[in-house]
Structure 1
Amino acid sequence: MRAETRKAGPLSKITIDHEDDASETTVSAQLDSTHVPPTFGELGVRDEIVRALAEVGIERTFAIQELTLPLALAGDDLIGQARTGMGKTFGFGVPLLHRIATEGSGTTTLDGTPRALVIVPTRELCIQVTNDLVNASKYLPGSRKSGLEVLSIYGGRPYEQQIDELKKGVDVVVGTPGRLLDLANQGHLILGKIGVLVMDEADEMLDLGFLPDIERILTMVPDRRQTMLFSATMPGPIITLARTFLNRPTHIRAEEAESSAVHERTQQFIYRAHALDKAELVARVLQAEGRGATMIFTRTKRTAQKVADDLVERGFACGAVHGDLGQIAREKALDKFRSGKIDVLVATDVAARGIDIDDVTHVINYQCPEDEKTYVHRIGRTGRAGRTGIAITLVDWDDVPRWQLIDKALDLGIPDPIETYSSSPHLFEELNIPSDATGRVRKAAPAASENGEKRERVERESGSRPKRNRVRRRTVRGKSTDGSATDAAATGSDDSAKAENGSVAAETGEDTGASAPARRRRRRRRTRSGEGPAGRAEQQDTSNVEAVSTSSAR
């Protein structure tokens, strides 16, 4: 039941709901357009963290951070619910770092044993959260002389390196459930001193089947701890998990005024496209004016790789991230995408969950999402952190019923997408595609590899490097066809040429500065089986003769 409603200065409205059993408190907030968010320093965050965040351009809080920080800094258990791209990572990361680095905050002194544990569903999200925590903690003191140590633990990497880092001592561990449980069972990961536990993207961990592993991990950590659970949606099993392992949590929901399930700053275009024309259509969309980093989503790993290979062949700087790739290849593709070396990334839903890249301008759903939740997560890759974005969904004829369910659930008002082809005028007009755009772009010169082979090839083709003189002459029995002996120094070639009668010319001798006498070539005569001098048999393909004797005399 609704207990009370109060007005507050920084927020336009805060509603506090109490459960009947008094086990959970819900705080919902809507921010109006005149609201000015506070800074991290104004909320009591340590100066070292405020300074580190300011260096990466973060000074003021988002809605979810503004509500979670006062409670999390006090050590309360909480559930943070907000759409993707609303800043949940620093919503738990900042208070986590503040508490373990501050004496008297309820956590024990740092001694090289993990004091905080963050559980995430995917490897890519693990790396991203680790990088965010490293950036925010660069000035904080830790168990090592170098400062507070944050370690990422996930599958696809050798155990030895992660075990060595744990032996050296770490303060914060970010990891995926499977590898965390393995190292904990082996005794390498000590969870007995964890003071702060975070479960990020809990709904995705539920979808991936990690809930049993998470429950086993939660039984290994101390009962006296702070637990924070963050998720975009709150299905029933996650609510049950929260009520089982969280101590009287506060449920925080933060949204902007009149917000819906998807970002209002994201323009959505839905087209009914033919499967055989999708590649050509996407190639034209990628030439739209103002297009920056672009993510393309597929339902299957095979389709993701196929689309990526096709776009590379068409001249686009494109990479792929999906489950069939090794962990190193996936990390390299993401690093190139973040650094701008490639501006198109093709990914499956699981691999791209939680990837936070702020400057993504376009999202293309190459295949229709499975449900409305997947659709929201996909288009949530753009329009992040207050930016605008464009989301394009290509619906095949067979996927129209699925799309109509998504449209009805999200109330988008586009149940029947317009039929669209790569040459449709409205496609060029709505997405600002130049009229002369085609399905291919000019390929850039290949980048130089580490050993310089590609660079040498480019220089040789461009004429900036002199070509080697290669002279090839046709020879018969060591002599050129004009009757003169072949000069080995002039030819410099190890290629042999066939004479008109089918015999192979002998190679010339080494470079001695003078023409060497031609070596007499042995001649082999074909004879019938069992006749002629004894010698080695020579097989003839055209005549099914099994053995032919040749003379053994020299």
Structure 2
Amino acid sequence: MTVFTDFPLHKSVLDAIQDMGFEEPSPIQAACIPKILEGGDLIGQAQTGTGKTAAFGIPLIERLTPANKIQAIVLTPTRELAIQVAGELRRISKYKRIRTLPIYGGQSISHQIRALKQGVQVVIGTPGRVLDHLRRKTLRLENVNMLVLDEADEMLDMGFIEDIETIISHLNAERQTLLFSATMPPEIKRLAQRYMNNPSTVAVSREEVTAPLIEQVYYKVFDRNKLDSLCRILDSEDVELGIIFCRTKRGVDELTEVLQARGYLADGLHGDLSQAQRDKVMKAFREGSIEFLIATDVAARGIDVSNVSHVINYDIPQDPESYVHRIGRTGRAGRKGIAMTLVTPREMRQMVVIQKQTKAAMLSRNVPTLEEVAERKQEQLREQLISLLDNDAMAEMYLKVAADLTATYPAEKVAAAALHLAFHSESGEDGEAESYNFGETGAAKGMVRFFLNVGRNANIKPQDLVREISESVGIPGKAVGRIDIFESFTFVEVPEEVAPFVYESLRQTRINGKRINLEPAKPRGRK
């Protein structure tokens, strides 16, 4: 098995990769990273979702120096992809003094010019805006030693071939050129023959992903309530054996410690465990002495336990293939199984991608309330109490407290208060999780009205806003209410029950390149 430490990468890059949650390279990463590090040209045939951005991004960041000059340029067909690639490169360069800058149409060019003057090492841009900067002489490419053409076939379809050739004419002939494309039409091959030097070729086909026929549900949760939400879900389910997936080894350790402290029969499994430790945990899981196995994707490989009733994605998987591999651990040998995924606002888009790719029918469920959990546990508490009463196992001190209390209060009331105290102590909560109260916003009944700081000045159309909300929150577009777009601001109404999710999701995003500032609207007529 190949791991990232097999590659000649600096500790700063390896630390960033670990923080991103990658345990081992995807097939295209394993094939491309060593070849790119050697310095040769490369053609990678791979679709979105195979990990191709990190396939070129990791060696690109590894080879850059902090010198204040542009050393690499990545060309993408769309501004959305430019922003996405820039974000990935920033995460990979977290511990290196490397600055990245996405440049694309729809964003203020003066802002980009100021950023370029301050100094960056990597530019990620769309061909049209890169050409614009070259004509203005605000972008100099004579020090670029690496060119990446990302989704080259898309750029070809959009008519960028001449722009790309003009940009290449400004580059040093001694550069390294990397070309990534899902398909290889003749025009792409001609481009490679003309501008690349004896390139290696790596082709990775995407797996056909089909979700197994088990019940699949997801819960919308906020980051700050995620752990408590998980505990409520666990308390409301009949779990025979459950596997809980985390993205990183550190996440496994932290969740294991917290669940054990709360009294759950749980243990962790990840790549840092010795074979003896791994065998011990798996033996306990198979025998049922632990109910929950908390694991990373890599550690869970090869686990074949037939009576796993629940798979829970505490951290959403990074791609549809991982999702399918995870949930396939349940519903084996004709048994029933259920897969549950906890989704935070910033992860909702990934959830939508997984649903589309796997064609899975996933139901949205609400996290159980304390009252629902309590009702679910009543029978279990009753059985525990009967067991204690039958065995005379209560300590003398508790009998004395009970006698004192029942002398003053009815016995039923004392017992109910003791149960209430025990349950709330066990759950670790004093009440409902913090919720949003947006107050009166001037919306229709059952709706919340939000103010956005962008309008026609950002080329926003109603369908753009509906699509953004639908994809970010996972609701049908028709559920979005009234939209009023003005020159520099917009009002939009959304259903009350999803308003907190809309608020958390959209206030940290961009629409048409503009950063969104979203807040509850004031009632009409008030300023």
Tell me the TM-score normalised to structure 2 length.
0.45
Higher helix residue share = 2
Greater Cα radius of gyration, structure 1 or 2: 1
